Structure 1
Amino acid sequence: MKIKDKITQTLASVAIELQEISSEFYIIGASAMILSEIEIGETFDIDILTTEANSLKLQQLLSRYIEVAPKTKENDLFRSNFARFHLPLMDIEVMGDLQIKKNNVWLPVCVEKYREIFIGNLIIRIPTLEEQKRILSFFGREKDLKRIPTLNKYLP
């Protein structure tokens, strides 16, 4: 199965739960690039950026899939109300009120410009290509910076 199909089928499988939270959620990272028709290969999870309230609600609504006490790799760089859900095709990681540490100051991660796509009846917000580039640069990790040249090929 193609990775874009895995992403869309995973999101469709939790569409009812996603429709129960406020619309303030965005798919970011590799999954956003793939949903934007950018060829980057595989990804193993779908990153959802949202509010703390939405994260808490999803933890309740998707409790059957939740990973108890998930380990995160970059606690020195990121903090959020974090949850990981193990779904049949791929994981979903939810970050409520995500912040990144820059120069010893915690700064909020926000999506300023986005577009909407439909997966069935579900409206999914993904950052515009320019916004995806801005977020990758803001994160500044090696793996994020490596994706920028690929993204640049798709920018006008």
Structure 2
Amino acid sequence: MEIKERITQTLAFIADELKEVAPYSCIIGASAMILHGYEIGNTADIDILTTSEGSDKLQLSLKEYMETAPLTKENELFRSNFARFQLPLMDVEVMGELQVCKDKEWRPVFIEEYTTLHIENVAIRIPTLKEQIRVLSLFGREKDYRRINQLRNLGGKY
């Protein structure tokens, strides 16, 4: 099964739960780029940016899939109300009130510009390509800059 189909089917699988948080959440990262139609390769998970309350709701409604005490990387760079869910086709990571540390200061991460897709009657927000590049630049890791260059090489308009 192709990655875009796995992402779409995973989102459809949790559509009822997503309806509760969709108005204040956004798919970010590689999954968002793939949903935009960019062939950037594979991804291991779907990243959902939401509020802390949205993360709490998903943790309650998807508790049977929730990983207990998930290990997180880069705790010096990111903090959030974090949860990882091991769903049948792929994992979903939820970040409530995500913050990134820049110049020794914690800054909130939010999406200003987005487009909307509809999957199983749920309005799924994904950042515009320009916005995704802004967020990747904010994160500032080597892999983020590689992704930006990959998008530019694919002809992404931003």
In 2, the alpha carbon distance for the partners of 1:34 and 1:22 equals: 19
In 2, the alpha carbon distance for the partners of 1:44 and 1:91 equals: 7
State the match for 1:155 in structure 2: 157
For residues 74-100 of structure 1, the C-alpha deviation after alignment (integer angstroms, 9 at most, x for no partner) is 100000000000000000000000000
Q: Residue 3 of structure 1: CA displacement?
A: 0.1
Q: Percent identity?
A: 60
State the match for 1:70 in structure 2: 70
State the match for 2:123 in structure 1: 123
Matches of residues 46-65 of structure 1 in structure 2 within 5 Å? 46-65=46-65
In 1, the alpha carbon distance for the partners of 2:147 and 2:22 equals: 30
Q: Residue 154 of structure 1: CA displacement?
A: 1.6
State the match for 1:97 in structure 2: 97
Question: Which amino acid in structure 2 is aligned with residue 75 of structure 1?
Answer: N
State the match for 1:88 in structure 2: 88
State the match for 1:144 in structure 2: 144
In 1, the alpha carbon distance for the partners of 2:104 and 2:97 equals: 18
Is residue 2:107 matched to residue 1:107?
yes
For residues 34-65 of structure 1, the C-alpha deviation after alignment (integer angstroms, 9 at most, x for no partner) is 00101110001000000000000100000010
In 2, the alpha carbon distance for the partners of 1:22 and 1:155 equals: 26
Structure 1 unpaired stretches of 5+: none
In 1, the alpha carbon distance for the partners of 2:22 and 2:44 equals: 25
Structure 2 unpaired stretches of 5+: none
Q: Residue 21 of structure 1: CA displacement?
A: 2.5
Q: Residue 22 of structure 1: CA displacement?
A: 5.2
SS of 1:146's equivalent? helix
In 2, the alpha carbon distance for the partners of 1:139 and 1:22 equals: 23
Moved over 3 A (4+): none
Q: Residue 150 of structure 1: CA displacement?
A: 2.2
State the match for 2:31 in structure 1: 31
In 1, the alpha carbon distance for the partners of 2:119 and 2:156 equals: 22
Question: Which amino acid in structure 1 is aligned with residue 67 of structure 2?
Answer: E
Question: Which amino acid in structure 2 is aligned with residue 33 of structure 1?
Answer: M
State the match for 2:132 in structure 1: 132
